[in-house]
Amino acid sequence: MEEVVRAKGHENVSAEHASTFEVTTDDWLTPAGDCILAVEADRAPAEFDPEFVAACREEGARITVRFEADGHVEDVVGQGHPDLAFESERSMVGRTSEYVDERTVVVGTDQAAAGFDRDLVEALAAGAELTVTLRVEPAE
């Protein structure tokens, strides 16, 4: 089961945050937003299919988030969590920690923004179109 979000890079994308990554529907980004990978997302977590959300809340669910832009591909793997709300109408956040708020879509990720391939980050800083595919697999 998966959800797809399309967004675009921005000149202020730096991807330097050590514990999170974010994609936002906002159309602006300041240099302080060092976890934000893309802006102008066409969807937010509040719009995701209820079945997808329920699958992400299952204990032991595996969530893979694929980022594709300008020929570059990056996969981030994490887990679901029973407290994932998918309520944000503005942004989605992945976290290396277990912290959950209304923006969180995956926890316990194997990397944050700072771990992304620098060629992908450069493409996003140049304004490349980004496709984000979230895929959830139930616990075995």
Cβ partners under 8 Å of residue 93, min gap 6: 20, 21, 22, 35, 101, 103, 104, 105
Cα separation, 42 vs 45, in Å, equals 11
pLDDT of residue 51: 97
For range 8-12, the mean pLDDT: 98
How is residue 26 written in tokens?
A: 């906002």
For range 24-40, the mean pLDDT: 97
Instruction: Say if CB 36 and CB 124 are below 8 A apart.
Output: no
Find residue 62's DSSP bridge partners: 79, 137
pLDDT of residue 139: 79
For range 87-95, the mean pLDDT: 98
The domain segmentation of the chain, as residue ranges, is: 2-137
- Give 140 or 50, the one with higher predicted confidence: 50
pLDDT over threshold 90, residue 56: yes
Cα separation, 72 vs 7, in Å, equals 15
pLDDT of residue 119: 98
Q: Mind giving me the DSSP string for 64-78?
A: EEEEEETTEEEEEEE
pLDDT band for position 42 (cuts 50, 70, 90): very high
The CATH label, of 3.30.1490.20, 1.10.10.60, 1.25.40.420, 2.60.120.630, for the domain at 2-137 is 2.60.120.630
For range 37-64, the mean pLDDT: 97
For range 62-83, the mean pLDDT: 98
